[in-house]
Structure 1
Amino acid sequence: MNLESVYKEAGAYLEGHFLLSSGNHSQFYLQSAKVLEDPALAGKLANELFSVIKNAGISFESVCSPALGGILAGYELARAGNKRFIFTERVDGQMTLRRGFEVKKGEKFIICEDVITTGGSAVESAKIIESLGGEVVGYAALASRGFCKMVGGLENPAPNAKLPSDKPFFALGEFGFAMFTPDECPLCKSGSKAIKPGSRGN
Structure 2
Amino acid sequence: MDVAQIYKDANALLEGHFLLSSGKHSRYYLQSAKVLEDPKVAETLAVELAKMIEAHGIEIDTICSPALGGVLAGYELARALGKRFIFAERVNGEMTIRRGFEVKKGEKILVCEDIITTGGSALEAAKVAQSMGGEIVGFAALANRGFCKRVGSTVSAKPTCKLPNDAPFFALADFEFDIYEPSECPLCQEGSVAHKPGSRGN
Q: Same fold (TM over 0.5)?
A: yes
Q: Which residue of 2 is the match for residue 105 of structure 1?
A: 105
Under a length normalisation based on structure 2, what TM-score does the superposition of the two structures give? 0.97
Q: Which residue of 2 is the match for residue 174 of structure 1?
A: 174
**Where do 5+ consecutive residues of structure 1 fail to align?**
none
Q: Aligned with 1:173: secondary structure?
A: strand
Quick check: 2:115–2:142 contact (8 Å CA) kept in 1?
A: yes
Q: Give the Cα–Cα distance (whole angstroms) in 2 for the partners of residues 3 and 112 of structure 1.
A: 17
Q: Which residue of 2 is the match for residue 7 of structure 1?
A: 7
* 1:190 is the counterpart of 2:190: yes
Q: Aligned with 1:167: secondary structure?
A: coil
The offset of 1:156, in angstroms, is 2.5
The offset of 1:196, in angstroms, is 1.0
Is the alpha carbon distance of 1:149 and 1:198 closer, same or farther for their aligned partners in structure 2, counting shifts above 3 Å?
farther
CA RMSD of aligned residues (A): 1.3
1:128-178 alpha-carbon deviations (Å, 9 max, x no partner): 011111001000000000000111114521111100011000000000111
1:77-100 alpha-carbon deviations (Å, 9 max, x no partner): 000011100000001111011101
Q: Which residue of 2 is the match for residue 84 of structure 1?
A: 84
Q: Give the Cα–Cα distance (whole angstroms) in 1 for the partners of residues 126 and 64 of structure 2.
A: 8
Is the alpha carbon distance of 1:131 and 1:124 closer, same or farther for their aligned partners in structure 2, counting shifts above 3 Å?
same
Q: Give the Cα–Cα distance (whole angstroms) in 2 for the partners of residues 198 and 58 of structure 1.
A: 36
- Name the aligned partner's letter for residue 192 of structure 1: S
Query: Segments of 4+ in structure 1 off by > 6 A?
Result: none
- Name the aligned partner's letter for residue 59 of structure 2: S
**Where do 5+ consecutive residues of structure 2 fail to align?**
none
Q: Which residue of 1 is the match for residue 94 of structure 2?
A: 94
Under a length normalisation based on structure 1, what TM-score does the superposition of the two structures give? 0.97
Q: Which residue of 2 is the match for residue 142 of structure 1?
A: 142
The offset of 1:59, in angstroms, is 1.7
Structural mapping, 1:159-170, within 5 Å: 159-170=159-170
Quick check: 1:148–1:154 contact (8 Å CA) kept in 2?
A: no
